[in-house]
Structure 1
Amino acid sequence: MIKISELRLHDVINITDGKRLGMIKDIDIDVETGRIKAFILPGATKLFSFLSKSEEIVVPWEKIVRIGVDVILIELSSGGQPAAK
């Protein structure tokens, strides 16, 4: 078993392109079932990010391949959207 506070310390890696996407910013939980629906990651930073709202990457639970000791592997297309299977 792993705590949410520990999950937020894991690096998230996209296995499709090998990119490191950062750490989990937030977690979307279904309050009725108590299950995790998605991980929310910070989007790409822009040159003048302080002037604009940053975009987020939402990773549905189904796109999580493996949660390891210090890394979470996900499968997203190169555009930051879930990869088609």
Structure 2
Amino acid sequence: MNCRIIDMRHKEVINVKDGTRIGCVCDVEIDTADARVIAIVIYGRLRCFGLLGREDDIIIKWQDIQVIGDDTILVTYNNYCRTKKRGRGFGGFFGN
């Protein structure tokens, strides 16, 4: 199967280990010396509508890609740990 880089952009990336949606492909890293793709990049989520920047980008090595389908890319990614931060609310002020 031939796939252009422009076709890979905006494909949804799914982790096959737990079925979580990691995000969409935003960029590709290429080794210019060997002329090969070495990783796909998924931009981090915006924090507070982008006012506080964005989370770290997720870089998935080419070896971790299992299947490239029409709409999705299935990967085996071990370092993925995106947990929802819980606000402490007023408990942080009162020591709870």
- TM-score band, normalised by the shorter chain? 0.7 to 0.9
- Paired residues, number: 80
The percentage of counterpart residues that share the same residue type is 31
SS of 2:51 mapped into structure 1: helix
Q: How does 1:60-71 map to 2 (within 5 A)?
A: 60-71=61-72
Structure 2 unaligned segments of length 5 or more: list them: 83-96
Structure with max Cα Rg: 2
Which fold has the larger relative contact order, with Cα–Cα distance below 8 Å and residues 6 or more apart in sequence?
A: 1
Q: CA deviation at 1:32?
A: 1.1
How far, CA to CA, are the matches of 1:43 and 1:76 in structure 2? Answer: 15
RMSD (Å), alpha carbons: 1.8
Matches within 5 A, 1:1-85: 1-47=2-48, 49-77=50-78, 78-79=80-81
1:49 Cα offset (Å): 4.0
Following TM superposition, where does structure 1 have runs of at least 4 consecutive aligned residues deviating by more than 6 angstroms? none
Distance 1:43 1:53, change over 3 A: closer
- The TM-score with structure 1 as length reference comes to 0.80
Q: Which runs of 5+ in 1 are unaligned?
A: 81-85
Query: TM-score of the superposition, structure 2-length normalised?
Result: 0.72
Higher-strand-fraction structure: 1
SS at match of 1:2: coil
2:65 aligned partner, one-letter code: I
Q: Distance in 1 between matches of 2:45 and 2:67?
A: 23
